[in-house]
A and B are shown apart, each in its own frame.
Chain A
Amino acid sequence: MRMALLIALLASSSLAQAKMIHVGPGGNAQEKLQTALIEAQPGDTVHIAAGRYALADGLSLDVDGVTVKGDGPDKTILDFTAQKVAGEGLLITSDNVVVRDLGIENAAGNGVKSKGSDGIALVNLRVEWTGGPKSTNGAYGLYPVSSKNVLIDRSVVKGASDAGIYVGQSQNIIVRNSRAEMNVAGIEIENSYDADVVGNTATNNAGGILVFDLPDLPQQGGRNVKLTNNQVIANNHVNFAAPGNIVAGVPSGTGIMVMANAKVMVENNHVMGNNGSAVMIVAYTQAFTDKAYNPLPRSVSVAGNHFMDNGKAPAFAGGKEIAAAVGGTIPPVLWDGITRYAVPGGGGEKLAEGGINIDAPGISLNLGLQGTPATQARPAPMQQNLVVSTRPAIVLPAALEARAK
């Protein structure tokens, strides 16, 4: 409590000296904006007035405690259509940063990326590739990675050739009240700990919401991710990702997909009109050499969701046959039934710690060992249980939440 008071005092004292740096359209937008982002001091706000800013290079911010604010996602537009340099539109590498009320169009790579930020809020942003979904669009719209205390709120991403909203290798995360549309993946939480994905709409992507964990990375063992009160609707877009990428393997028609990870809760979502499967729960599909990696989904619960009109036209390999075997429609939950894996380098076999608990109809392919091909599937209905969740909501630092209001 004393600490909280101290932080509040520090925050207010820095606010007292905080200044507003105004940047308007016209002239050399690149130099004006980048100079403002370099010269800002902690506590300052860089205000980018309404207008269209044509940028040939990425922008970056490396000062802690700065707010970058536009006049609205359709009014202040950072236009990267002619971008020649850099891997993202806006790159944040500092802590306690809020970026809000901006539109970011046609970034060559990612839209907005934060790397290694402790405290990053992306609020009321629009990231869009205006030529519609194309494999030549940038990869991610909003892309916090290796970050901590991450908030994505009231934002929209359209047309990303990988994931619209992608949070990777991060911790303590809320993605809420946002919309992802016409991306390959709508929202993806990857190799991350302690995340709430709440109140979002993912529609007309190839896959709506993904929770993945991949090997050979500095942070892995993704866990404690809760998807709740999301609208996951008609994610039947053709998958337009460049082959080779992990999302290129996400079947069109997927509502929610959990791959590897521990303790994932899928609760009280509206999942409708996804042609493949409403909720797909699978092990990592590829061979791997990382001894520390666990490819299994474990302690996954699916409870209280509203499922409607899913699984009518599965496009994934073997989908039609499976559907035919169970009465023509894939039930809401499809699990590969993989419960054990061989540790690379002759480390023996390991079993999943914690099972898959569902309160809706589901089917298991009963593949058993990780790496078993789907051609050996022995589909069978899964048992339904009463699933009770007591997991508290993720809480972000109050000061960050206050600046994101």
Chain B
Amino acid sequence: MRRIWAALLLLGAAPAPVVQSQLLLTTDAPRLADYGLFDAAGHPAPGVQPYTLNTPLFSDGAEKFRFAWLPPGTKAQYRALGALAFPVGTVLVKRFAFPADLRQPAKDVRPIETRLLIHRPAGWMALSYVEQDGGAVLKRAGVKVPVEFIDKAGRAQAIDYAVPNQNQCKTCHQDGEAITPIGPTAGNLNGSLHGTGPNQLMTWARSGRLAGLPADGWPRLARWDNAAEPLNARARAYLAVNCAHCHSRGGFASNSGLYLVPEEVTPAHLGVLKRPVAAGRGSGGNEFSILPGQPNKSILLHRMTSSEPGIMMPQFGRALAHDEGNALIRKWIAAMPDPADSAPAAAAAP
């Protein structure tokens, strides 16, 4: 009996946080805790819902925990392409953390930063809060955090993990002049939370957070690491998530003419037999973004495998090469048919 009291008293002393919707709309709070999205132990406040993506962006192997909070009574609007249309007031949260050993992702996890994308009346705002003693604080100018861990291959890694500055947030999240979410597209949410249970699109629709979900015909981004799915779908999903935020018609790399969005069909814009424009030494001496059947002569893979600034792609967001992702793209390019066979297809593409 006493115990129950004690528990109740504790609850009274530390009530569940309340999301500060007005503060989110108006103010770049100096501390993450000011917004009331999480309690001191890191548990999300009521209404802050976790979600997962079929294919996530590679961030040096960081574990990422994603949450969405929508103002009570509001809904996101379904869209087949691009991120769902979230209402003003929405906050999308991504927490980055490194386990001591990536092979045991739930053990000895060190939180690094929490990124917020807040939908304000004037548009989306990107903020990053970096963990310090006493809680996460706003860092607009970015910061390097030394991180050590054992990678998936059992190798010891020591990196300067780069928390992006505010402009870098925008570089990736831009669509034309506006900032936009990248991850939560219908296609990338079209799967189970953490790979088990009901479909997230269905869950969101049933809980009243998603409007306009059609009965069927939802797009689906493949899981890049699921060997049971078709190679082309996995590779295109990987490129869509890791590259297309810049390599799209409205993205930072629009001038490259290389467009890796899932819906792109023109071979030249996907890089097939496309000559470089402003790659400079990033070409690595190769003539084409993708030379079908020849991953070692394809600029795309050359830049993905490099970790040298001026060559590496993406330009920031990683310090390490993603061996598993690069192996997938290597396999995809190696399996592409000979250019002589693909030329008529190029001409026929809309």
Contacts and interface: CB of A to CB of B under 8 A. Distances in A.
B278 A140 contact: yes
Interface stretch (A162-170, A252-260, A333-341, A386-394): A162-170
A161 B310 CA distance: 11
Chain A contact patch, size range: 35 or more
Given A162-B278, A215-B268, 19 more contacts: A31-B141, A31-B143, A34-B141, A38-B165, A60-B171, A62-B166, A84-B160, A135-B281, A137-B281, A139-B278, A139-B281, A145-B255, A217-B277, A218-B257, A243-B285, A243-B287, A246-B277, A286-B275, A344-B347
Contacts of A217: 255, 257, 277
B59 to A, nearest CB: 14
Contact of A109 (B141, B165, B283, B309): B309
A245 interface: yes
Contacts of A161: 280-281
A230 to B, nearest CB: 23
A216 B269 contact: yes
B212 to A, nearest CB: 31
A159 to B, nearest CB: 12
Given A161-B281, A218-B257, A290-B268, A86 B347 contact: no
A18 interface: no
Contact of B283 (A85, A143, A244, A346): A244
11 contacts: A39-B140, A57-B162, A85-B309, A85-B319, A91-B167, A139-B279, A161-B281, A214-B275, A244-B286, A246-B276, A289-B347
Instruction: Tell me which of B274, B277, B310, B315 has the highest count of chain A C-beta atoms within 10 A of its own C-beta.
Output: B310
A93 interface: yes
Contacts of A290: 268
Interface centre among A107, A139, A216 (most CB of B within 10 A): A216
A63 B145 CA distance: 27
B315 A168 contact: no
B220 interface: no
Nearest to A220: B257
A289 B345 CA distance: 11
B254 interface: yes
Contacts of A57: 142, 144, 162
Contacts of B269: 216
Interface of A: 30-31, 34-35, 37-39, 56-58, 60-62, 83-87, 91, 93, 107-110, 115, 135-140, 143, 145-146, 161-162, 166, 168-169, 214-219, 241-246, 286, 289-290, 344-346
A18 B171 CA distance: 26
Contacts of A115: 252, 255
Given A38-B140, A168-B255, A244 B309 contact: no
Contact of B309 (A61, A86, A93): A86
Contact of A216 (B141, B249, B274): B274
B282 interface: yes
B268 A138 contact: no
Given A38-B141, A218-B255, A244 B285 contact: yes
A140 B278 CA distance: 8
A37 B165 CA distance: 11
A143 B299 CA distance: 21
Contacts of A219: 255
Nearest to B279: A245
Nearest to B142: A34
Given A35-B141, A86-B309, A245-B283, A145 B171 contact: no
Instruction: Identify the 9 closest CB pairs spanning chains A and B, nearest first.
Output: A139-B280, A244-B283, A109-B310, A108-B309, A108-B310, A60-B167, A87-B315, A34-B141, A345-B347
B308 interface: yes
B135 interface: no
Contact of A138 (B167, B168, B170, B280): B280
Contacts of A244: 275-276, 279, 283-288, 299
Contacts of A169: 255
A136 B283 CA distance: 11
B346 interface: yes
B204 interface: no
B316 interface: yes
Nearest to A162: B280
